[in-house]
Amino acid sequence: MPTIAFVVFDGFYSMALAAQSVFEFTNVELGEPFYEMFNVSVSGGCVRASSGLTVLTEAIDDRVFDTVIFPGSNPADVGPPLAVLDYVRRSAETARRTASICTGAFVLAEAGLLNGRRATTHWYYAHDLRTRFPSVTVDDDRIFIADGPIWTSAGMTAGIDLALALVENDLGAKVARAVARNLVVYHWRTGGQSQHSALLELEPKSDRIQAVLTYAKQNLTEPLSIESLAEVARLSPRQFSRAFREETGQTPAKAVERLRLETARLMLEDSRHTIDQIAAASGFADLRRMREAFIRVFGQPPQSFRRNARAVTS
């Protein structure tokens, strides 16, 4: 039976414990215990999270776990106890997998486990991780990354995606998808998915421009000309173009391209669709134009995103 240990210390982010539900419902889906979970800490007893939640833990000892997961905390606060860092190093030698959720990547990096590896963390702290640990290749635009036996995830709810990927790694995609459905996870994000949402990043200030973006997102296969978008906003094309740029900092054409790229990028993680089908479904006129847009914005063609997504879950 694979054993999963969550290693916590005072001030940890309690949101990371949401990942435990993935393993719990995997047992439910299988109809028998498969995973066994433990909360452990340096001294055992009650450990207080940053939210004030108190978690009862067992003391760290010499027990070997299959998978050891390190939740994060605010890296600007006092770091994890030295005993935790020592345990990171010791447990990594015996565990099949070592993982971090959110800023737990700082714990792994401090212990030296991320040297020479690719890793991710919450986008807000990615620059700090990159600066403090230059030997780590930080990719702040990934939901999770598996580099050998070391797994790292982005912030907050990305821990659920990481846990689902661990389940898939153990039991296959069919079981992981069933667990995601039971958890009412709207969209199970694979590792290659961006942490960022184009709709959120554009941040329109008015309902009028927000309505245009929502309309564009829902109608990507349409031409989405300035005239048609201006009609949604109930403005003249000139007024609309000016208002759109003032509110989002981008032209309507660039914003529509970002929405199409985001949609195509998500679909590339689903191997059931061919790249030609993805180009059509995301509103690109043809594969050539989609490829050009990918290289211009991301620096690599669509095929690379598909290969990376498959490599993460293989």
Active-site annotation, residues: 102
CA-CA distance, 95 to 18, in Å (whole number)?
22
Strand order in the sheet with 150-153: 45-48, 54-59, 36-41, 3-7, 67-70, 97-100, 150-153, 144-147
Sign of CA dihedral 190, 110, 75, 98: positive
User: What are the tokens at 102?
Assistant: 């959110």
Contact 68, 60 (CB under 8 A): no
Q: 194 to each of 41, 92, 94, 123, 292, how far by Cα in Å? A: 32, 28, 32, 10, 19
Residue 118: beta bridge partners?
Answer: 137
- Say how many CA atoms lie within 13 Å of 78 toward its Cβ: 6
Residue 168: closest CA among 138, 150, 189? 189
